[in-house]
Amino acid sequence: MSLPHIDGGIAANNPTLAAISYAIKLGHKLEDISIISIGTGETSQPYSYKQIVQWGLAEWAIKLINILMNSQSSANNLVAEQIMSTKNPEGYLRL
For residue 6, name the pLDDT band (cuts at 50, 70, 90).
Answer: low
Distance from C-alpha of 72 to C-alpha of 66, rounded to nearest angstrom: 10
* Per-residue pLDDT reduced to its tens digit, 13-26: 788 998 999 999 99
Examine residue 1 and state whether it is found in any structural domain, yes or no: no
* Per-residue pLDDT reduced to its tens digit, 34-78: 999 887 766 667 788 998 899 999 988 888 877 877 778 888 889
What's the Rg (C-alpha) of the chain?
17
Is residue 93 classed as helix, strand or coil in its secondary structure?
strand
Examine residue 71 and state whether it is found in any structural domain, yes or no: yes
Domain count, the chain: 1
Examine residue 42 and state whether it is found in any structural domain, yes or no: yes
The per-residue pLDDT for 90 is 93
Distance from C-alpha of 39 to C-alpha of 20, rounded to nearest angstrom: 16
For residue 29, name the pLDDT band (cuts at 50, 70, 90).
Answer: very high
Examine residue 7 and state whether it is found in any structural domain, yes or no: no
Examine residue 41 and state whether it is found in any structural domain, yes or no: yes
Examine residue 81 and state whether it is found in any structural domain, yes or no: yes
- Domain of 38, in residue numbers: 14-94
pLDDT greater than 70 at residue 3:
no
Examine residue 80 and state whether it is found in any structural domain, yes or no: yes
Nearby residues of 90 by Cβ (< 8 Å), 6 or more positions away = 34
Is residue 84 classed as helix, strand or coil in its secondary structure?
helix
